Amino acid sequence: MFDDYYSGSTLLKPLSNKIGIEIDRLNFVICQLIALCVAFLMRNYFHPSYTSAAIRHIFSFTVGILLSYFCFGYTVFVISVSYLAAIHTKRLIYNYGSYNLDITGPLMVMVQRVSGLAFSLHDGLACDYDKLSQYRKKYVTKKKPSLIEYYGYLFQFQSILAGPNILFKDYIQFIDGSNFKNAEIKDYSCEPPVIYVVLKKISVSVLCVIINLTLYSSFSIDKARVICTTLTRFMYYHAWILAEAVCNASGLGFNGFDENKNAKWDLAKNVDILGFEFADNLRNAISCWNIGTTVWLRFLVYERLERYEKYKTLCTFALSAVWHGFYPGYYLCFLTAAIFVSAARTVRKFVRPYFLCSSQLKLFYNFLTFLITKFAMGYFTFPFVMFDFWSAIIIYKKLFFILHVSAIITLLALPSICKRLPKPATPMIK
């Protein structure tokens, strides 16, 4: 049934059958490779130094629309949260438990852009700038975009299929070339080369998809759940790193220079693989995963609930769950994650100070929290992979809900226990 969504299915179906790759994933990879080639074309033949912003907007959204149509058909034009919810529901009913790539992906990206731009305009036009948090000030937009700017931003081809969520002001600076001018690059020939950066990211993307394809089939989700959730991440690494390479190839993603005068191409970064895999706490892990979405959630929800401090984390995860869809496993995953994050903050606040009196103790604490974080990530994310609520509950029951119980005890009992203990020694290190 869902094959009807894929406009490119007729052309690519024989190739899909021959090489044994699902048509939706083949469509995605081919479109991203086309986007990569077009990105180099845009940077070299539609450069802002000799191409008007209007032409670059038109080029961006025209290619984006064509790629979207090739993958998903006409319905990608409808942009609204209600339509996204309807598509999530249809997927739930007719294609339950499938990892097929459908139009929900681009719609999720466009919902981020539409809502993020609306909130940026609200902060810029209807709020007192001085009363905004520093985080919200970074994304303020004080001028309503023109129609061509709006649709150019919405359908930009570099990130229409897999993200990341690019902020409106960053997109406009890319279109008019001010992202390079702000770094005091005045001449096109002096712009930092990007070919090495793109090739490096393509190599990482290819490596990730090879790992996913070769190892994932070796493990059953019913027999090795934690391992499978780890391998599933490589599918996301592949898609996000490839999308980042497409952005960089067109010049989108340039973020100035570091202290050593090396060009930074991390403005369109959506995942930090090493930062995520080796994070020693949940906060750092979450900040390294789906970075564009994390920024969007913080900007829309977390930073706007100053009066409801206790509910900020829960509300943020709730929006994340709705945005992802309506599989019951998503809600169990994000509810568990919200509890774990709150518990981890409690531990950091009350326990960590006792381990800061020496570098050895701090190293031991960091290693211990690294192990707990890895276990916790596998524990609360496998309902996301399995989709089903009761299947996950059965597994949690076999594990005696050990981390759920530990997290709740931490939240309820740890503050009062630590208040009765002697105060920690004055920290020698931070």
Close Cβ partners of 76 (under 8 Å, ≥ 6 residues apart): 65, 68, 69, 103, 106, 107
Query: Between the CA of residue 403 and those of 82, 212, 283, 375, 411, what are the distances in Å?
Result: 35, 28, 17, 9, 12
- Alpha carbon distance 426, 429 (integer Å): 9
Of the candidates 57, 324, 366, 404, the residue annotated as catalytic is: 324
User: Is 324 a catalytic site residue?
Assistant: yes
Question: Are 214 and 254 contacting, i.e. CB atoms less than 8 angstroms apart?
Answer: no
pLDDT band at 8 (very low <50, low <70, confident <90, very high): low
Of the candidates 179, 248, 290, 404, the residue annotated as catalytic is: 290
| Digit-coded pLDDT (tens) for 183-203 | 777 677 678 889 999 999 999
| Digit-coded pLDDT (tens) for 206-243 | 999 888 888 766 665 555 556 666 778 888 999 999 99
- Alpha carbon distance 267, 244 (integer Å): 9
| Digit-coded pLDDT (tens) for 347-398 | 999 999 989 888 899 999 999 999 999 989 889 988 888 888 998 899 899 8
| Digit-coded pLDDT (tens) for 297-321 | 998 888 888 788 888 888 898 889 8
Q: Which two tokens stand for residue 62?
A: 């025209």
- Alpha carbon distance 98, 102 (integer Å): 10
- Alpha carbon distance 149, 2 (integer Å): 32
Q: Which residue has the tokens 């959506």?
A: 270
User: Is 238 a catalytic site residue?
Assistant: no
Query: Between the CA of residue 326 and those of 26, 334, 384, what are the distances in Å?
Result: 26, 12, 11
- Alpha carbon distance 238, 247 (integer Å): 14
Q: What is the model's pLDDT at position 336?
A: 94
Is residue 28 predicted with pLDDT exceeding 80?
Answer: yes
| Digit-coded pLDDT (tens) for 81-96 | 555 666 667 666 666 6
